[in-house]
Structure 1
Amino acid sequence: MSKKKINKLIIGTNNKGKLREIKSLLPKSIKIYSTSEFSLKSPTENGKTFKENSLIKSKYFSKKTGLICLADDSGLEIDFLDKSPGIYSARWGGKHGDFVKAIRRVYKELNKKDKNWKNKKIKARFICAISISYLNKKIACVVGKVEGYISHKPKGKNGFGYDPIFIPVKKRKTFAEMKPSQKYKMDHRYKAFKKIRKFL
């Protein structure tokens, strides 16, 4: 299967920001379908790791459509919060994935742990697991990471998810303050894509 170049695939996400970013990273020669074209809801993600959840999604959407599926599972780990929210990153935003709410919860948890957390450098990383599956068969699964720390307040209007509170190492701006073209060249999804490109 993987010897042959993939010429069409479905991106297994209902997150518009994620869909946009993945599309921008894929070779232009691939015809891309989105889950909304098939009116598909996302499966229950009950894996214990980003990799497991990514595979649950890519296999599910592939079986539903008969297309090869590329799916990612990603999230934010904050060392000071014992690596939370981690695989529950989207769930911290509640049923509707409201990231304003999720970001508020991050600050609430940091405050609970230490009122003076703003005087410390709160280390964090974004992790992205990308998998490609065809029906029940895994073609590939890789992980990309970007290290950084938590901003004292949300900044910037670009990006999505936790981007307004994440400052990558050696940068002063949050992901949400950067131009998408700048962020897409350095984030966790880009790093995972570099590893998976040979399968495309």
Structure 2
Amino acid sequence: MLKKKITKLLIGTNNKGKLKEIKNLLPNNLKIYSPQNFKIKSPKEDGRTFEENSLIKARYFSKKSKMLSLSDDSGLEVDILEKNPGIYSARWGGKKGDFNKAMNRVFKELDKKDKNWKKKKITARFVCALTVHDLNKKLISSIGKIEGSISPVMKGKNGFGYDPIFIPKGKKITFGEMKSSEKYKIDHRFKAFKIIKKLF
């Protein structure tokens, strides 16, 4: 563990939505950089779990930037789809990362499984793995999850990714319909961050 508090940090993602959400969790006095400041492209994510992919990214961005790096790997697990899209959540959006395409694919896969799925509660969860990596070693990893269900239609323009089709447990609206200030207090990224915030 670090002996002194972190004052500057690279957030290891080229996803603007993710960058914004992670920034909002971090203290205001932290000097924050992104891979775009160094023109670093994202690494190949060939891990088998969220944790492995999070570590691959954190280690890679730390090495390339010579800075302390925080990386996230997150995605949606739909139980009836054998927990897919899971670690392939971004890839379901194709090369351009089109999440409308990804959400429509979730609907198509659900149609294949059960034509009446829209009348049922389709359980799902968002998972987030966060890793902080120094130049030579992993400092800390954490996992956060939020349970919920799949909305039969896309609702809301807030957030990013699969937010318009995910209804968190105990709520009647999707993440896409929620104010970001409300979402940040309950989502998977917030839960994962609670474990690592002692570094800051």
Q: Tell whether the structures are fold-level matches, with TM greater than 0.5.
A: yes
1:95 match: 95
**One-letter code aligned to 2:112:** K
Percent identity over the alignment is 67
Q: 1:184 offset after TM fit, Å? A: 0.8
Distance across 2 between alignment mates of 1:62 and 1:135? 6
Cα deviation, 1:26-68, whole Å, max 9, x if unaligned, reads 0112100011111111000000000000000000000001000
- Larger CA deviation: 160-169 vs 27-36: 27-36
Q: Which residue is equivalent to 1:131?
A: 131
1:178 partnered with 2:195: no
SS at match of 2:28: coil
1:81-103 CA distance string (max 9 Å, x none): 00000000000000111000000
Amino acid corresponding to residue 134 of structure 1 in structure 2: D
Q: How far apart in 2 are the matches of 1:2 and 1:146? A: 29
Find the counterpart in structure 2 of residue 75 from structure 1: 75
Q: Distance in 1 between matches of 2:112 and 2:148?
A: 21
The match for 1:195 is: 195
The CA deviation at 1:3 is 2.0
1:158-177 deviation line (CA, Å, top 9, x unaligned): 00000000000000010000
**Inter-partner Cα distance in structure 1 for 2:140 and 2:4:** 14
User: Unmatched 5+ residue regions in structure 2?
Assistant: none
| CA–CA separation in structure 1 for the residues paired with 2:58 and 2:89 | 19
SS in 2 for 1:159: coil
Give the number of equivalent residue pairs: 200
User: Alpha-carbon deviations, 1:93-125, whole Å to 9, x = none?
Assistant: 001110000001000000001101112100000
Q: Which runs of 4+ in 1 moved over 6 A?
A: none
Alignment map for 1:45-124 (pairs within 5 Å): 45-124=45-124
User: Could you tell me the TM-score, scaled by structure 2's length?
Assistant: 0.98
1:75: how far off?
0.1
1:4, distance to aligned residue in structure 2 (A): 1.4
Amino acid at match of 1:146: I
For 2:65 and 2:36, how far apart are their aligned partners in 1?
12
Secondary structure at the aligned position of 1:52 is classed as helix
Aligned to 1:18: 18
Backbone CA RMSD of aligned residues: 0.7
Return the offset for 1:136.
Answer: 3.5
- Report the AA paired with residue 29 of structure 1: N
Q: Deviations over 1:132-159 (max 9, x none)?
A: 0012310000000000000010000000
Give SS of 1:132's match. Answer: strand
Runs of 5+ unmatched residues, structure 1 = none
